Chain A
Amino acid sequence: MSDWITITIDGKEIQAKPGELLVDAAARAGIHIPVFCYHPKLDPLGACRMCLVEAEGRRGKMLITACTTPVADGGVYYYESERAVDARQGTLELILINHPLDCPICDKGGECPLQDQTLEHGPGKSHFWEEKNHKAKHYPLSDLIMLDQERCIVCWRCIRYLEEWEDKPQLGLFHRGGETVIDKFPDGKLDAYTSGSIIDICPVGALTNRLARFSYRPWELEKTPSICTHCGMGCNLRIDSRTHRIRRNVARENAAVNDEWICDKGRFAMGFASHPERLQEPLARINGELRPVSWPEALDRVVRGLKRVVETHGPAAVAAIGSAKLSNEANYLLAKFMRGVVGSNNLDFREGSAVVADPRGIPSLADARDADVIVLMGCDPGEEMPVLANFLKRAVLRGGAKMIIVHPRAIELTQYAAAFINPTIGAESAAFDALTRATLDASDAIIPDWLPEVEEAAQVAGISVEDVREAARLLSQAKRPFIVYGVDYAWGYGARNLVTALTNWVVAAGHGERLGFLHSQANALGAADMGMAPDRLPGHRPLSDARARRELEARWQTEIPTQPGLSYGAMMASTPDRIRALYLMGADPVGEKPADAKALAELDFLVVQDMFLTESAKLADVVLPAASYAESRGTFTNTERRVQRAPQAVRTVGKSVADWAILMHLARRYAPDKKDAWDTPSVDAIFAEIAEVVPAYRGMSWENLGESGQQWPRDAVSLSRELRPHSGAAIPPSPDYPFRLVVGSLLWDGGTVFAATPQMAGLARQAAWLHPDDAARLGVQEGDAIEIRSRGGSIRTFAHLDPSIKPGSVFAPYSFPAAPVGNLFDDYVPRTSVAIEKVT
Chain B
Amino acid sequence: MSGLKDVYESAREIGKAMGLTLKTLATEKPITVEYPDQPMAVYPRFRGRHELRRYENGMERCIGCCLCEAACPTGAIYVEAEENDPDNPISPGERHAKVYEVNLLRCIFCGDCERACPTEAIVLGHYIDLASYDRRDFILTKEDLLNPPEPNTIIRPAG
Contacts and interface: CB of A to CB of B under 8 A. Distances in A.
Interface stretch (A209-217, A321-329, A562-570, A786-794): A209-217
B83 A213 contact: yes
A104 B94 contact: no
B94 A138 contact: yes
A105 interface: yes
A362 B147 CA distance: 64
Interface in B12-30: none
Interface string B54-81: 0000000001111101100000000011
A105 B63 contact: yes
B95 A214 contact: yes
10 A-B pairs with the lowest CB-CB distances in the bound complex, closest first: A104-B65, A214-B81, A105-B95, A217-B66, A104-B118, A214-B95, A105-B63, A138-B94, A214-B83, A105-B94
Interface string B93-134: 111000000000000000000000011000000000000000
Contacts of B82: 214
A220 B71 CA distance: 12
Given A214-B81, A215-B81, A104 B69 contact: no
Contact of B93 (A105, A109, A215): A105
Nearest to A219: B70
Contacts of B95: 105, 214
Interface residues of A, number: 11
8 contacts: A104-B119, A105-B65, A214-B81, A214-B95, A215-B80, A217-B65, A217-B66, A217-B69
Given A104-B65, A215-B81, A137 B94 contact: yes
Determine the main DSSP class of A at the interface with B: loop
Nearest to B69: A220
A213 B67 CA distance: 17
B138 to A, nearest CB: 20
A580 to B, nearest CB: 50
A214 B70 contact: no
B133 to A, nearest CB: 28
Contact of B67 (A104, A137, A138): A104
Contacts of A214: 64, 81-83, 94-95
Contacts of A219: 70
Given A105-B65, A105-B95, A138-B94, A217 B118 contact: no
Contacts of B118: 104
Given A105-B94, A215-B80, 10 more contacts: A105-B63, A105-B93, A137-B94, A138-B94, A213-B83, A214-B64, A215-B81, A217-B65, A217-B66, A217-B70
Given A137-B94, A138-B94, A215-B81, A104 B70 contact: no
Contacts of A220: 66, 69-70
A4 to B, nearest CB: 45
Contacts of B94: 105, 137-138, 214
Nearest to B80: A215
A219 B82 CA distance: 17
Nearest to B65: A104
Contacts of A138: 83, 94
Interface residues of B, number: 16
Contacts of A104: 63, 65, 67, 118-119
A607 to B, nearest CB: 38
Contacts of A215: 80-81
Interface string A77-112: 000000000000000000000000000110001000
Nearest to B119: A104
A680 to B, nearest CB: 37
Interface string B39-63: 0000000000000000000000001
Interface in A526-584: none
Nearest to A245: B80
A109 B63 CA distance: 14
B89 to A, nearest CB: 12
Contacts of B83: 138, 213-214
A608 to B, nearest CB: 34
B4 to A, nearest CB: 71
A274 to B, nearest CB: 13
A85 to B, nearest CB: 30
A214 B82 CA distance: 6
A205 to B, nearest CB: 11
A219 B116 CA distance: 15
Contacts of A217: 65-66, 69-70
Contacts of A105: 63-65, 93-95
B10 to A, nearest CB: 62
Contacts of B93: 105
Interface string A115-138: 000000000000000000000011
B94 to A, nearest CB: 5
Nearest to A210: B83
Contacts of A137: 94
A137 B64 CA distance: 18
B124 to A, nearest CB: 20
A210 to B, nearest CB: 9
Nearest to B116: A104
A137 B92 CA distance: 14
User: Which residue, A104, A109, A219, A220, has most C-beta atoms of chain B within 10 A?
Assistant: A104
A766 B67 CA distance: 44
Contacts of B63: 104-105
A756 to B, nearest CB: 20
Interface in A8-37: none
A252 to B, nearest CB: 24
A104 B95 CA distance: 10
A220 B83 CA distance: 19
A213 B94 CA distance: 11
Nearest to B78: A243
Contacts of B119: 104
Contacts of A109: 65
B61 to A, nearest CB: 12
Contacts of B70: 217, 219-220
B115 to A, nearest CB: 14
Interface string A137-149: 1100000000000
A334 to B, nearest CB: 38
A109 B95 CA distance: 14
A215 B63 CA distance: 13
A219 to B, nearest CB: 6
A215 B79 CA distance: 10
Nearest to B66: A217
A109 B118 CA distance: 14
A100 to B, nearest CB: 10
Interface in A425-447: none
Interface string A383-426: 00000000000000000000000000000000000000000000
A243 to B, nearest CB: 8
Nearest to B79: A217
A207 to B, nearest CB: 15
B21 to A, nearest CB: 56
B118 to A, nearest CB: 5
Contacts of B66: 217, 220
B55 to A, nearest CB: 16
A86 B93 CA distance: 35
A109 B69 CA distance: 14
Interface in A196-250: 213-215, 217, 219-220
A138 B83 CA distance: 10
Contacts of B64: 105, 214
A590 B80 CA distance: 40
A152 to B, nearest CB: 16
A137 B93 CA distance: 10
A137 B118 CA distance: 20
A220 B69 CA distance: 9
Nearest to B97: A214
A499 B1 CA distance: 125
B117 to A, nearest CB: 9
Nearest to A110: B70
A214 B96 CA distance: 9
A105 B93 CA distance: 9
A175 B94 CA distance: 26
